[in-house]
RNA sequence: UCCCCUGUGGUGUAAUUGGUAACACAGCUGUUUUUGGUACAGUCAUUUCAGGUUCAAGUCCUGGCGGGGGAACCA
């Protein structure tokens, strides 16, 4: 049990949650969700679920200049894709604008808020620094009557944008800068995607969030670490506004992954400068990107669980995410054969019109009865260039000159002849197959063949485009150590392979179908009209590791 | 320099709340295998440091050191 669950359990035991546990996921509709949000969603929805409560979806739409309906829609779509349901509890901070206004009036009446005429710049300089106390606003002691009238005029649009603000009257010398008379309302004539032009004053985050939580009966308001310094203010409002609930804010560390950035601003830069094709580029850490890449909701959720929930600002290894995907897809993805870099092999003891049926299991790891399909071994087949070496070390278990290798789900072939072009490149192999070696059997008196390679019948193959993705960045911590994120971009983050040879069944796969290309990795069919597959993640490859070490 | 938070293997997370460091990922070494995949096994930590309390400290106390956050009319 993590520390948040522990706290929730304590609160339940202490009778502080008579209506059950209620959390909320509070995105600002000003961008697309990314892997970091996925963790927050996992936390907010997951904890509510664990304790039999519910999680509200609340859009924190208090800054109309940056927000839009488009983002509201995409966010809802992404949450649903991740497998979470807010059960109709869809709210907006803007639903509470009138209530919030009332709370502000209440604070003014109690002498706890005032209208301040300082400009944005002056407000900043009056705030002081962590080392020096701030200075009181010259308007700090306005009368309640005057403040009430002024605040009403703000709402009625009698002042230009930025002319004044409503501020809480707390303590300009407070050690926590957030408590130095924070701004509650600012004047901004921006068209709001939900309230239109009904308002020209908008509440700040601090004034809206806790009160929105309270209005909804939220018991546990879980947020990231950067709001720790805001908690005293969160609690100050709840304490000084009458007749409002008392949600509890608990902060946790956000998700950081190696080779990844989650800064909205930096991601936007990648999109704008064309380093990626868009927010849904399969290399992007956005939910939409991961989805196109071939990730599954389960993999993402399991990764969150594996990473855990703490207050320590950790940096998780990207392997954690990749491993979660492999683990998930190992069980559910059907296996297929695909040759990305084809080398023609002619099986000379097979006639032109001959085709030997080979049974291939769809997924040896699937639970229950495994289904299978029939492949045809024909005279001409494709194998991977990489799986043949004329001259190879003894550890190389694949096909060599005069050597043997087993064709997966097929037969053992022997390489009799190597055909090269004028430049000396191997363009074709002439092999013979051993009719006695079907079904994985080793004929009496023959040595067992260790190497097994994948292949595709040239007669049956369909051509396809395959996109091989790798980390977007070449550095574990992009943009640190004095480098820019641009400098850290991995130039080989995408490799497009044309003319890959796929086994025929793949042409019928629906968009979004996840498969394992045997010995290569997990791939997903894209929604392109042509046959295109994206590589989500490669398989573990101990041979490649061995070779790298030299 | 002021306030808040945080420090357990390469990376993260756990430890019945004081009882002798567990799990995952990564690495390495093997076994099994019609995927050099999967699965399985082995290996990898004197818990940031210095004191203190105690029969006993990762857990408690004192002090130091390291890391993160904080001065938007953003969220």
Summarised one tens digit per residue, pLDDT across range A529-547 is 999 999 999 999 999 999 8
What integer pLDDT is reported at residue A164 of this predicted model? 98
The answer to whether residues A256 and A316 touch, using CB atoms and an 8 Å cutoff, is: yes
pLDDT in tens, A12-43: 999 999 999 999 999 999 999 999 999 999 99
Cβ of A379: how many Cβ atoms within 10 Å?
19
A323 CB-to-strand B distance under 7 Å? yes
In Å, what is the separation between the CA of A226 and the C1' of B52?
A: 35
**What six digits make up the tokens of A166?**
């409503």
In Å, what is the separation between the CA of A152 and the C1' of B33?
A: 77
| Gap between the Cα atoms of A418 and A390, Å rounded | 8
**What six digits make up the tokens of A127?**
């705030």
Average pLDDT over residues A352-375: 90
A28 has catalytic annotation: yes
What integer pLDDT is reported at residue A445 of this predicted model? 82
Q: Show which positions of strand B are touched by protein (CB under 7 A).
A: 1-8, 10-15, 17, 24-28, 34-39, 67-75
Q: What is the CATH architecture assignment of A335-460?
A: Beta Barrel (2.40)
What integer pLDDT is reported at residue A550 of this predicted model? 66
Q: How confident is the model at residue A217 (pLDDT cuts 50, 70, 90)?
A: very high
Q: Is the pLDDT of residue A101 over 80?
A: yes
- The average confidence (pLDDT) of chain A is 96
Beta bridge partners of A168: A113
What integer pLDDT is reported at residue A516 of this predicted model? 98
In chain A, residues 17 through 36 whose Cβ sits under 7 angstroms from any atom of nucleic acid strand B:
26, 28
pTM here?
Answer: 0.96
Q: How confident is the model at residue A369 (pLDDT cuts 50, 70, 90)?
A: low
Instruction: Give the least confident one: A98-107, A359-368, A414-423.
Output: A359-368
Cβ of A324: how many Cβ atoms within 10 Å?
23
More reliable by pLDDT, A100 or A367: A100
Q: What are phi and psi of A131, to 5 degrees?
A: -95, -30
Overall CATH class of domain A3-252: alpha beta
Nearest-nucleotide field for A543 (CA, C1'): B36
Average pLDDT over residues A356-377: 90
What integer pLDDT is reported at residue A471 of this predicted model? 97
Average pLDDT over residues A445-459: 94
| Gap between the Cα atoms of A256 and A477, Å rounded | 10
What integer pLDDT is reported at residue A370 of this predicted model? 76
Q: Which residue, counting CA atoms, is nearest to the C1' of nucleotide B7?
A: A312
In Å, what is the separation between the CA of A395 and the C1' of B58?
A: 46
Q: Is the pLDDT of residue A439 over 90?
A: no
Q: Is the pLDDT of residue A138 over 80?
A: yes
In Å, what is the separation between the CA of A312 and the C1' of B59?
A: 18
What integer pLDDT is reported at residue A443 of this predicted model? 84
**Lookup result for tokens 């030997």:** A356
The active-site residue, picked from A5, A7, A28, A475, is A28
A90 has catalytic annotation: no
Cβ of A354: how many Cβ atoms within 10 Å?
12
A110 CB-to-strand B distance under 7 Å? no
Domains in chain A: boundaries: 3-252, 335-460
Long-range contacts of A426-431 (CB under 8 A, 24+ apart): A426/A343, A426/A385, A426/A388, A426/A390, A427/A343, A427/A344, A428/A343, A428/A344, A428/A345, A428/A346, A429/A343, A429/A344, A429/A345, A429/A346, A429/A383, A429/A388, A429/A399, A430/A345, A430/A346, A430/A348, A431/A345, A431/A346, A431/A347, A431/A348
By percentage, how much of chain A surpasses pLDDT 70? 99
A265 CB-to-strand B distance under 7 Å? no
pLDDT in tens, A515-530: 999 999 999 999 999 9
More reliable by pLDDT, A126 or A443: A126
In Å, what is the separation between the CA of A419 and the C1' of B12?
A: 52
Average pLDDT over residues A488-513: 97
């Amino acid at each position: 049990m993590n520390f948040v669950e522990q706290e929730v359990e304590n609160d339940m035991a202490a009778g502080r949650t008579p209506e059950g546990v209620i959390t909320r996921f509070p995105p600002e509709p000003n961008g697309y969700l990314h892997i970091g949000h996925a963790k927050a969603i996992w936390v907010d929805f997951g904890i509510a679920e664990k304790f039999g409560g519910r999680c509200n979806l609340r859009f924190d739409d208090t800054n109309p200049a940056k927000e839009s309906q488009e983002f509201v829609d995409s966010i809802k779509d992404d949450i649903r894709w991740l497998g979470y349901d807010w059960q109709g509890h869809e709210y907006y901070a803007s639903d509470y604008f009138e209530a919030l206004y009332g709370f502000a009036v209440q604070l003014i009446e109690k002498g706890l808020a005032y209208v301040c005429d300082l400009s944005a710049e002056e407000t900043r300089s009056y705030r002081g620094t962590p080392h020096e106390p701030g200075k009181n606003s010259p308007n700090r002691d306005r009368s309640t009557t005057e403040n009430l009238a002024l605040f009403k005029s703000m709402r009625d649009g009698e002042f230009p944008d930025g002319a004044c603000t409503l501020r809480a009257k707390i303590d300009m010398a407070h050690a926590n800068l957030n408590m130095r008379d924070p701004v509650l309302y600012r004047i901004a004539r921006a068209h709001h995607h939900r309230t239109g032009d009904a308002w020209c004053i908008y509440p700040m985050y601090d004034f809206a969030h806790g009160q929105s939580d309270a209005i909804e009966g939220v018991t546990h308001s879980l947020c990231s670490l950067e709001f720790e310094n805001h908690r005293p203010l969160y609690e100050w409002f709840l304490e000084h506004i009458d007749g409002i609930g008392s949600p509890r804010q608990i902060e946790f560390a956000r998700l950081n992954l190696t080779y990844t950035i989650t800064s909205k601003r930096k991601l936007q830069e990648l999109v704008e400068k064309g380093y990626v094709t868009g927010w849904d580029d399969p290399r992007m850490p956005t939910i939409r990107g991961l989805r196109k890449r071939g990730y599954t909701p389960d993999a993402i959720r399991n990764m969150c669980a594996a990473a855990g929930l703490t207050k320590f600002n950790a940096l998780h290894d990207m392997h954690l995410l990749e491993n979660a995907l492999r683990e998930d897809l190992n069980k559910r993805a059907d296996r297929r054969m695909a040759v990305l870099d084809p080398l023609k092999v002619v099986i000379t003891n097979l006639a032109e019109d001959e085709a030997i049926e080979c049974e291939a299991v769809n997924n040896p790891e699937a639970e229950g009865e495994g289904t299978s399909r029939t492949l045809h071994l024909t005279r001409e087949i494709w194998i991977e260039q990489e799986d043949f070496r004329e001259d190879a070390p003894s550890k190389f278990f694949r096909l060599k000159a005069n050597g043997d290798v087993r064709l997966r789900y097929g037969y053992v072939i022997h390489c009799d002849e190597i055909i090269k072009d004028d430049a000396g490149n191997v363009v074709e192999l002439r092999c013979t197959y051993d009719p006695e070696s079907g079904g994985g059997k080793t004929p009496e008196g023959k040595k067992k063949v260790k190497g097994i390679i994948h292949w595709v019948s040239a007669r049956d193959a369909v051509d396809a485009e395959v996109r091989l993705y790798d980390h977007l960045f070449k550095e574990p911590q992009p943009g640190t150590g004095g480098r820019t994120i641009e400098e850290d971009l991995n130039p080989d983050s995408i490799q497009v392979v044309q003319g890959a040879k796929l086994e025929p069944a793949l042409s019928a796969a629906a968009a979004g179908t996840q498969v394992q290309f045997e010995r290569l990795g997990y791939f997903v069919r894209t929604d392109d009209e042509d046959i295109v597959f994206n590589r989500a993640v490669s398989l573990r490859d101990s041979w490649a590791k061995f070779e790298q070490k030299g």
